[in-house]
Every structure is written in C-alpha cells, then in structure tokens.
C-alpha cells in the first residue's frame, strides 16, 4: 500500500540532498512524496539550526502540523508520524521531544539510514515508541544508504563530504554535523554516473567544507577535490560541475589547476569570507586573514580569468567596530562579488562567540547589514548589466512564470529566461545572447541551434 510522505526542507543544500536520500530510504516501504502535509502518513521536517530565525521557524511550522495530525487521527485509526530531522533535531532533540508531545520521532543528520527501523517502531500498534536517535554512529551513513539514487533534475546535488573540523566561533555546524568525513572516490563516481544515466547534466558536489575533501582512491592513496573533479570530468554526458561550500584555507594548488584545466568546471565559486577585518577574522577563528583571501582569489583568477565569486558575510560579530566593518566594505569593493549572502550575527547556544563580551546592539547590526547588502546588490546588478550583449551557454531546467517561457542557469548561476523555445529544449544547453539584465536574473534570445544536445531518452519528463 502506498503511503504519503511530506518532507519539508530548511537550511542548506546538504539538507536538500539529505531530504532526497530520506525519500530514497523510505520508498521501498511504500512512502511516496506528496506536496501537502494535510492527510500525509508521515511528515518530516528537515531542519536548520544555523541562525535563531531558522530554528524558530520549525516550532511555528510544528503548530500547523499539529492541526493536520489531529484532523487525520480524529477517527482513531489513521496515524500521522511526525518526525523532526536535521540540525535542530541534532542540537535540541531531547528538548524538542519534551516541548512537543506530538512529535513521534527525532533524528539527526547522521542517522537517517536507520529510518526503516524507526518507522517500524513508531508504527507498532501496541506500545508505540517515541524515538530519538541523535547518535554519531560508528557505521558510516553513506555505506548504509541505498546504492541506487532516484532520478533528479537536470541539475543535481551529490554529497561528497560532510561535517566540519574548523570550529569557527559563531557556528553550530561542527556540533550538528560532526567531524569531517569524505566518501570514497569511486562511490561518488558511481553516484554521478547513475545521475547522468537518469538525465542529470549538471552536478553540484556538496560538503560543509567541500574542498577539505580527501577520500580514499580506488587503488590506495587519497583523492583531493582537484583529483575528484578530474575524474568526474571524464564522465560522458556530465556537462557541468560545481562544488560548494569551500573554505579559503583549503583551496590548494591542485584545485586551482582544476579551474585552469577543466572546461566542465563552471567559472563560478562560492568562497565565504565572513569579514574583511583581520581582528574579526581571528576572533571568528576563521584560520585565514584578508591578505590570504586576496591571494587565493588572485591565484584562482590567474588560473581561470573568467572566474566570478560569491561569498557569505556576517555583520555585527561580537566586538566588530565601525572600523572593522569598514574593512569588510573595502574588501567587498576590492574583490567584487557577483552574488552574496549576508547575515546579522546570531548568537547560537554552545558556541564560543555567543559568550563573548561586546555583543553588537541590534540597531547597529541592522544599519551595517543594510549598507553591505546595498553594496553587494550594486555589484550584482553591475555584473548582470555587463552581461548584456554577451553570448552564454544556458542549461534550461524549468518552465518560467510566463506562458512559453523557459528558465535555465548561466555558467555564473544567474537564472536566465528565454521565450519561444519548444518544450523539448528543457534539459538542453543552449547558446543565448543576453538581452535583458535584472537585479536577480537575465533574459536572452537564442543565437544558435541548441548545442550539446542529448538524445531524447535521456530527457527528464
Ligand atoms: N560551511 C560553510 C558555511 C555554512 S553556514 C562555510 O564554512 O563557509 C552558511 C553561512 O551562514 C556561513 O557562511 C555564515 O556566513 C552564516 N552563519 C553561520 N553561523 C552564523 C551565525 N551564528 N550568525 C549569522 N550567520 C551565520
Ligand atoms: Fe561553520 Fe566555519 Fe565549519 Fe563553515 S568552516 S561549517 S562556518 S565552522
Ligand atoms: Fe543549517 Fe545544518 Fe545546513 S545548521 S545550514 S542545515 S548544516
């Protein structure tokens, strides 16, 4: 009998990947994804703990789920299993269980391969258990997940590394995801091949610290990320490769050379800097300073002159002075980013920075975030405007909002819309001349017949 599974994903791309894999684990038990919690047999909230707002969202959503659960169970027979997964589960699992009696199951990012067993326990007619599993188990999750991955979009995520040993003083990730772990190289190659066979043309390799990757090679020895990229590049039908999130400390020569040598490696890199002041970077325990970041960017651009950057910024870190903030602004002006995420510092329980003195008052954070976001938006728009008249290869991935419109991604991750192409152009990489530049997207027109077409059986319906 099929059962309805509703999964809601918060937070980063790793959670998007995990949610997909949870569905892979539950599919053999008859659970089919649905896009509404009402009436579902199982609801999983795959949560994020990175900032206070993200974590709070879960509790407000649980309020809504409670109503659905009550409605479904009103007749006394139908159950709705409510599960909280992900980083809030890992960080606050026990408290969550106490506060929310209707939550049946809490499990962290490292234990979802055990879902079949958990579901069986939760479904028991008599003595139904409430389950909490927030271990960091000795067995590797990846070894116990189904070997087969389900079909993904034309652009897919592939987790290659998980966890973090860096311990930036503001960040919960090392506590919620655990120590760094890299998957063996051949497991990744196999997963990539499967995705490509099922229609994927672009793969984004994921890791909390993706360029710290050091997985076992097939014949002993270790593969770096640079080596892995070279191997993946050999896969026919895989046309575009990206990776995220990288740490400036782990950009090595091998990776820089990959950007020089591999045409499939897209010329766009998300390289979080967080701040431009050395004093703040040190207090953040970032293990890099402004000068080393600039040096890495220079090397990368020497290797790949086309390369464009995006980044993450935190404003209002404890002790950040006006001068420190101006250093960050100057860094942005000097380097220029075509896209960025910026956040007000959010104190997180258990992290060293949350106990630091000199927390920055909220109004100061607000003023700084507005200023940096204005500057970053300006740089993004300027980059987009400079694309006018250029020709770009765009991987068409989905329908746009307007009738007859398709939307894809440029090499620089900009969404690009185009009208007048047939439905069959979805999944193809087409060459477009850019005719419109908006703050967050581009518009284009076809210049040539579609390039690098695939035969029809590789298409995703
Ligand atoms: N692994 C990635 C980042 C993961 S978190 C890396 O090392 O770059 C994504 C972003 O959230 C971070 O880059 C940081 O800018 C932001 N962030 C993390 N903790 C935060 C906090 N306590 N307050 C505000 N922003 C935070
Ligand atoms: Fe968090 Fe720092 Fe690790 Fe990134 S490198 S996940 S910001 S501790
Ligand atoms: Fe959030 Fe966990 Fe990702 S805290 S950003 S879901 S690693």
Q: Any idea where the domains of the chain sit in the sequence?
A: 3-133, 151-266, 280-386, 391-446
pLDDT digits (tens, 9 = 90+) for 231-252: 999 999 999 999 999 999 999 9
Percent of the chain beyond pLDDT 70? 96
CATH superfamily of the domain spanning 3-133: Methylthiotransferase, N-terminal domain (3.40.50.12160)
Q: How far is 209 from 444, CA to CA, in rounded Å? A: 34
Average pLDDT over residues 325-354: 98
- pLDDT on residue 459: 42
- Polymer length in residues for the chain: 461
DSSP 254-295: HHHHHHHH-TTB-SEEE---B-S-HHHHHHTT-S--HHHHHH
Smallest-distance ligand from the CA of 165: 2
At residue 147, the pLDDT reads 87
Ligand 3 first shell, C-beta below 6 A = 11-12, 14-15, 48-50, 86-87, 172-173, 176-177, 208
Interior angle at CA 317, CA 316 and CA 319, nearest 5: 95
Q: Which atom from ligand 1 is nearest to the alpha carbon of 209?
A: 1
Handedness of CA 125, 127, 130, 134 (dihedral sign): negative
Calpha distance 104→18 (Å, rounded): 20
Q: How far, in Å, is the centroid of ligand 1 from the Cα of 98?
A: 28
Judge: domain 391-446, CATH 3.90.1170.50.
no
Q: What is the pLDDT of residues 186-244, one digit of tens each?
A: 999 999 999 999 999 999 999 999 999 999 999 899 999 999 999 999 999 999 999 99
> pLDDT band for position 127 (50/70/90)?
low
Instruction: Give the whole-number percent of the chain exceeding pLDDT 90.
Output: 89
Judged by its nearest atom, the ligand closest to the C-alpha of residue 18 is: 3
For ligand 2, is residue 174 a contact (CB within 6 Å)?
Answer: yes
Does a cis peptide bond (omega within 30 degrees of 0) precede residue 164?
no
Q: Is the confidence at residue 12, as pLDDT, over 70?
A: yes
Q: Which residues form the pocket of ligand 1, taking CB atoms under 6 Å from any ligand atom?
A: 50-51, 170-171, 173, 208-209, 245, 247, 272, 274, 312, 314, 343, 345-346, 348
Given this model, what pLDDT does residue 75 score?
75
The number of CA neighbours under 13 Å toward the Cβ of 33 is 12
Q: For residues 410 and 396, what is the distance between their CA atoms, to the nearest angstrom?
A: 9
pLDDT(460) > 60: no
Q: Ligand 3 centre and the CA of 173: distance in Å?
A: 6
Distance 145 CA to ligand 3 centre (A): 20
Confidence of residue 257 (pLDDT cuts 50, 70, 90): very high
Reported confidence tier of residue 458, pLDDT bands at 50, 70, 90: very low
Closest listed ligand to the CA of 85:
3
- CB neighbours of residue 333 within 10 Å: 12
- Out of 9, 10, 11, mutate this one to test ligand 3's pocket (max ligand atoms within 8 Å of CB): namely 11
Q: What confidence tens digit (pLDDT) does each residue in 46-87 have? A: 999 999 998 899 999 999 999 999 999 887 778 899 999 999
The dihedrals phi and psi of 216, each to the nearest 5 degrees, come to -65, 135
DSSP classification of residue 51: S
Atom of ligand 3 nearest to the CA of 177: 7
Average pLDDT of the residues of the chain: 94
Q: Which atom of ligand 2 is nearest to the CA of 285?
A: 2
Q: From edge to edge, which strands make up the β-sheet containing 268-270? A: 268-270, 308-315, 339-344
Q: According to the annotation, is 387 in a ligand binding site?
A: no
Residue 15 CA, closest ligand 3 atom number: 6
Residue 44 Cα to ligand 3 midpoint, Å, equals: 16
- Stretch 402-418: mean pLDDT: 97
The 3-state DSSP class for residue 242 equals: strand
Nearest CA residue ID for atom 2, ligand 2: 168
| Model pLDDT, residue 138 | 77
Structure confidence at residue 457 as a pLDDT band (50, 70, 90): very low
Q: Is the CB of 155 under 6 A from ligand 2?
A: no
- Given this model, what pLDDT does residue 151 score? 87
Task: Determine the pLDDT at residue 366.
Answer: 98
Domains 3-133 and 391-446 are alike in CATH topology:
no
247 lines ligand 2 (CB under 6 A): yes
Q: Which ligand is nearest to the CA of 244?
A: 1
Query: How many Å lie between the centroid of ligand 2 and the Cα of residue 286?
Result: 8
CATH fold label, 280-386: Transcription Regulator spoIIAA (3.30.750)
The CATH number, out of the four listed (3.30.750.210, 3.20.20.450, 3.60.20.10, 3.40.190.10), of the domain defined by the range 151-266? 3.30.750.210
Nearest CA to ligand 2 atom 5: 166
- The pLDDT confidence band at residue 144, using thresholds 50, 70 and 90, is very high
Nearest atom in ligand 2 to 312's CA: 7
Please indicate if the annotation marks 168 as binding a ligand. Answer: yes
pLDDT interval class at 454 (50, 70, 90): very low
């Amino acid at each position: 009998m099929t059962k309805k599974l509703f999964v809601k994903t918060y937070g980063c791309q790793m959670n998007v990947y995990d949610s997909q894999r949870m569905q892979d684990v539950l599919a053999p038990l008859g659970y089919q994804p649905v896009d509404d919690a009402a009436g579902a047999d199982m609801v999983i909230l795959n949560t994020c703990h990175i900032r206070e707002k993200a974590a709070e969202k879960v509790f407000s959503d649980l309020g809504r789920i409670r109503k659905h659960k009550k409605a479904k169970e009103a007749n006394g027979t139908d159950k709705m299993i409510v599960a909280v997964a992900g980083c809030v589960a890992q960080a606050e699992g026990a408290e969550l269980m106490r506060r929310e009696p209707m939550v049946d199951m809490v499990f962290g990012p490292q234990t979802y391969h055990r879902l079949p067993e958990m579901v069986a326990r939760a479904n028991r007619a008599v003595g139904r258990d409430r389950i909490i599993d927030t271990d960091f188990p000795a067995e590797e999750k990846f070894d116990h997940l189904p070997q087969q991955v389900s079909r993904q979009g034309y652009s897919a995520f592939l987790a290659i590394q998980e966890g973090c040993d860096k311990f930036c003083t503001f960040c919960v990730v090392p506590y919620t995801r655990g120590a760094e772990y890299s998957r063996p190289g051949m497991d990744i190659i196999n997963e990539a091949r499967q995705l490509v066979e099922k229609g994927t043309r672009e793969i984004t390799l994921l890791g909390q610290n993706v360029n710290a990757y050091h997985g076992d090679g097939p014949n002993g020895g270790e593969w770096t990320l640079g080596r892995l990229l070279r191997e993946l590049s050999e896969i026919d039908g895989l046309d575009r490769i990206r990776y995220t999130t990288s740490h400036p400390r782990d950009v090595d020569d091998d990776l820089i050379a990959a950007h020089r040598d591999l045409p499939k490696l897209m010329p766009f890199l998300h390289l979080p800097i967080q701040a431009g002041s050395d004093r703040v970077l040190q207090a953040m325990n970032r293990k890099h300073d402004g000068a080393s970041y600039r040096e890495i960017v220079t090397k990368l651009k020497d290797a790949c002159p086309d390369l464009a950057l995006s980044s993450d910024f935190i404003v209002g870190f404890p002790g950040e002075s006006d001068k420190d903030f101006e250093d960050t602004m100057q860094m942005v002006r000097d380097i220029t980013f075509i896209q960025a995420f910026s956040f007000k510092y959010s104190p997180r329980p258990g992290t060293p920075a949350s106990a630091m003195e000199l927390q920055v008052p909220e109004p100061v954070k607000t003023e700084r975030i507005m200023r940096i976001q204005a500057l970053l938006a300006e740089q993004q728009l300027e980059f987009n405007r400079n694309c006018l008249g250029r020709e770009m290869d765009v991987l068409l991935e989905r329908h746009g909002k307007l009738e007859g419109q398709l939307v894809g991604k440029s090499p620089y991750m900009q969404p690009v819309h185009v009208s007048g192409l047939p439905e069959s152009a979805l999944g193809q990489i087409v060459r477009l001349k850019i005719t419109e530049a908006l703050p967050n997207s581009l518009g284009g027109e076809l210049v040539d017949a579609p390039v690098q077409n695939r035969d029809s059986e590789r298409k995703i319906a």
